[in-house]
A and B are shown apart, each in its own frame.
Chain A
Amino acid sequence: MISARNVGVRLDSRSILDDVSLDVLRGEVLTLVGPNGAGKSTLLAVLSGDRKPDSGTVTVDGRDIGGIRHAELARLRAVLTQENSVSFPFRVSEVVAMGRSPWARSIESRDDVAVVNQALEATDVAHLGERRYTTLSGGEKARVSLARVLAQHTPVVFLDEPTAALDLRHQEEVMRAAKIMAGEGRAVVVVLHDLSLAGAYSDRLALVAHGRLEAIGTPSEVLTAERVERVYGLPVDLHDVGGHPVVVPRR
């Protein structure tokens, strides 16, 4: 679906990403993990077409992503960013409906109401529909923004730390929603910090460190105690819970 080849990004002669190649595939959850400042968000920005790489190529089904118009790209991929403030007091239902705007004047727009309602349900914010977005709590804002991204209903979905502001139950629900989208044949790319959460819900993990792709593969292939210790600089124990790796720092 989306392919990055030898991608490099530099900022003031400092290398942020260096020679990264990976494929985003339909029907799977691909999670990007790595320490702070490793380049995960930059990689997400490059894959989603937000940022033009300084070297290498990013293609969507063989087409250069830089050559795709804004309006068309908005029908191909949705992005949940970490920054989700809204300048004016729009209602929650209005904010989520904004996710439908790329489909205005297309055949898909007849499903607008159903898709919006589904997104409100999936993120557990249907009861907030009439509230002003600006009056919500941080976690509620995060879920409403996720609902907006779901409503965009694109073949590729990027989620940059979607669980950051959420409680335990909502974290699980978000990742389950990601899994469901992948089950529908869509490609889901998530940036996560919680390695155990990543291990439980990802089909593939990409570990990014110092701007390079350290490892990519299934969670149990990537998450070895030795590798996690080396990349994060912290001794950890790895446990196996129901076939998924769980990472616990040695305290």
Chain B
Amino acid sequence: MTHSLRALTLTLTLAALLVGGIVASAVLGQLPVSPAEVGGSLLRAIGIGNDWAPSESIVESTLWVVRFPRIAMALVVGAALAVAGAVMQAIFGNPLAEPGVVGVSSGAALGAAIAIVIGVAALGDSAIALLAFVGGLLATLLVYFVSRANGRTEVVTLLLTGIAVNAFAGAGLAFLLFVAESGSREQIVFWQLGSLNGSRWGEVLIVALVTAVGLAAALVLARPFDLLALGERNARHLGVNVERLRIVSIVIVALLTGVAVAFCGIIAFVGLVVPHAMRMVIGPAHRQLIVASAVGGGVLLVLSDLLARSVVAGGDLPIGLLTSLVGGPFFFYLLFRQRKRSGGWA
């Protein structure tokens, strides 16, 4: 297949999955809603009167208060995590780098948990988000400067650093769980598992804004990311200010991961699976890769969330559990393949 044909196929597939996933998510649930009612309600919202729109207010509020914000949250958080993964892989020069694996997500979760326990969370959602961002930033900086040698990161070093960061953040979370009151304790457990349950429009808006900024910044840096694949020295010879690129990228990763974790907890492996799948289809050039990852991440989370809340009747599985269930084996497969190819754990 030619490149453009592949890109077209991918776009159509993603669009179909996206629309299908959104409609299915809106329709399915404890209160059944027909697809026609969903379409009608959406049309009415943008000012087009029609006969399909639901007449019962319980249906209308189920859609607009519960399901739509949750779908929107899945879209933006999926996009944020997948783009964070793509950016991280670009600056680490390693396709196995991922916010969850190397401990950025748990760093952010630790930040959020600290916010809850010391009570700044009372200042509002943005206080949690801010501390989640700081936690994520510190973790990214740590992993980045510890695990790289000669402009690249070896798999072993990366994973070992990830283990160390995850262990430390895990201990921090456990300590906070220990000292926290029962209310905070529940909130912290929520962060560790990850869930889109109870998303509100206000939260969606914050995540959407941050994601938009992060995505735009990542797209501006798409060409330098391509050049960075040649190694740091070669990128510098081609005019890339590597030091600045590094810092900006770390901030982007921390922002995207931090905001996702702040509102939805740890949802691991999205940043690993999505960019990898997209790279296999459309190749590694970052401009297309970042756009495709954003859309693909949204699609993946909408579908995962649908699964999470329908697989156990009446129950709401934490989505983070689900993505790890799928992402864990996938990560193992990538690791295994990379080991086979390079003849070792290099």
A122 to chain B, nearest CB (A): 19
Q: Which of B238, B241, B279 sits near A101, CB closer than 8 Å?
A: B238
Q: Is B102 an interface residue (CB 8 A)?
A: no
Minimum CB distance partner of B244 in chain A: A70
Q: How far is the CA of A78 from the CA of B95 in the complex (A)?
A: 28
Query: Is there contact, CB below 8 Å, between A50 and B223?
Result: no
Residues of A within 8 A of B223 (CB): 101, 104
- Given A98-B230, A104-B223, check contact A88 B238 (CB 8 Å): no
Q: Is A3 an interface residue (CB 8 A)?
A: no
Q: Is A245 an interface residue (CB 8 A)?
A: no
Identify whether the interface residues of B are mostly helix, strand, loop, or mixed.
loop
Residues of B within 8 A of A84 (CB): 230-231, 234
Which residues, 65 to 123 on B, are CB-close (under 8 Å) to A?
A: 93-95
- Given A86-B229, A101-B227, check contact A79 B283 (CB 8 Å): no
Minimum CB distance partner of A133 in chain B: B229
Residues of B within 8 A of A101 (CB): 223, 226-227, 238-239
Query: Is there contact, CB below 8 Å, between A81 and B285?
Result: no
Instruction: Encode A146-170 as 1/0 by CB contact (under 8 A) with B.
Output: 0010001000000000000000000
Query: Is there contact, CB below 8 Å, between A75 and B239?
Result: yes
Minimum CB distance partner of A48 in chain B: B237
Q: How far is the CA of A71 from the CA of B244 in the complex (A)?
A: 13
Q: A50-B237, A84-B234, A87-B94 given; name 20 further pairs at CB < 8 Å.
A: A71-B241, A73-B239, A74-B239, A75-B239, A79-B234, A79-B237, A81-B233, A83-B231, A84-B230, A85-B152, A85-B231, A87-B93, A89-B284, A90-B229, A90-B284, A90-B285, A94-B226, A94-B283, A101-B226, A148-B230
B interface list, Cβ under 8 A from A: 93-95, 150, 152, 223, 226-231, 233-234, 236-241, 279, 283-285
Sample of 14 A–B contacts (CB below 8 Å): A72-B239, A74-B237, A74-B239, A78-B237, A79-B233, A83-B150, A84-B231, A85-B231, A87-B93, A88-B95, A89-B283, A90-B226, A101-B226, A152-B238
A interface list, Cβ under 8 A from B: 48, 50, 70-75, 77-79, 81, 83-91, 94-95, 98-99, 101-102, 104, 148, 152
